[in-house]
């Protein structure tokens, strides 16, 4: 057998930063795992690419506790398993283009420092809430009788 077509995993390793788009706990015959989809722009003003990977470690426990919500920044490192822009639509009987190109990583992990900030929550303002506003205090008006400063006249300008 020839080593000519041998692949070396270290050359297929990617580190990608993106925002969590979807997480799903999946039960399989081998146990439970978390399927994660990140959205990442590979270049400025480019179209987003979906990056998918499966994990059964700390990210799964974060997700179960509610800390891996959509919009959280995440940096993941893994081996590129597949890249696709097409899928087969069984109803139409033809190949169609995905909304976003999809990268799938295997042996993916989030290294130390890879869990970024959560999405900034949009402040919800209750429009029907009664707001109490204090009355403005009275501003004292000078009568100039108690002042040692002479009033300004047209000659001062």
- pLDDT tens readout for residues 133-149: 778 788 776 665 656 66
Question: What are the boundaries of each domain within the chain?
Answer: 13-109
Q: Looking at the predicted structure, is the pLDDT value of residue 19 above 90?
A: yes
- CATH number of 13-109: 3.40.50.2000, 2.60.40.10, 3.40.50.720, 2.40.50.140? 2.40.50.140
3-class DSSP assignment, residue 137: coil
What is the distance between the alpha carbons of residues 82 and 54, in angstroms, rounded to a whole number? 13
| pTM of the predicted protein model | 0.67
Q: How far is CA 39 from the centre of its chain?
A: 8
Per-position DSSP letters for 42-105, written without gaps between them: SSTTPPEEEEEEEE-SHHHHHHHTT-S-TT-EEEEEEEEEEEEEEEEETTTTEEEEEEEEEEEE
Write out pLDDT tens, residues 77-119: 999 899 999 988 888 889 999 899 999 999 999 988 888 888 7
Distance of CA 23 to the CA centre of its chain: 12
Rounded CA-CA distance 53/83 in Å is 12
Question: What digits encode the pLDDT tens for the residues 51-75?
Answer: 999 998 888 888 888 888 898 999 9
Q: Collect all residues with Cβ–Cβ distance below 8 Å to 130 and sequence separation of at least 6.
A: none
């Amino acid at each position: 057998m020839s080593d000519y077509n041998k692949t070396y995993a270290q050359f297929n390793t990617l580190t990608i930063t993106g925002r969590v788009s979807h997480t799903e706990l999946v039960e399989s015959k081998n146990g439970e795992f978390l399927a994660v989809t990140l959205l990442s722009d590979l270049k400025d003003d480019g179209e987003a690419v979906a990056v998918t990977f499966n994990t059964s470690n700390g990210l799964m426990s974060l997700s179960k506790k509610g800390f891996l919500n959509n919009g959280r920044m995440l940096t993941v490192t893994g081996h590129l398993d597949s890249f696709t822009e097409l899928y087969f639509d069984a109803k139409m009987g033809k190949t169609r283009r995905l909304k976003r190109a999809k990268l799938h990583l295997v042996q993916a992990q989030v290294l130390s420092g890879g869990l970024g900030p959560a999405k900034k929550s949009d402040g919800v303002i209750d429009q029907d809430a009664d707001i109490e506003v204090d009355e403005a205090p009275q501003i004292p008006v000078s009568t100039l009788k108690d002042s040692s400063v002479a009033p300004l006249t047209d000659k001062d300008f």
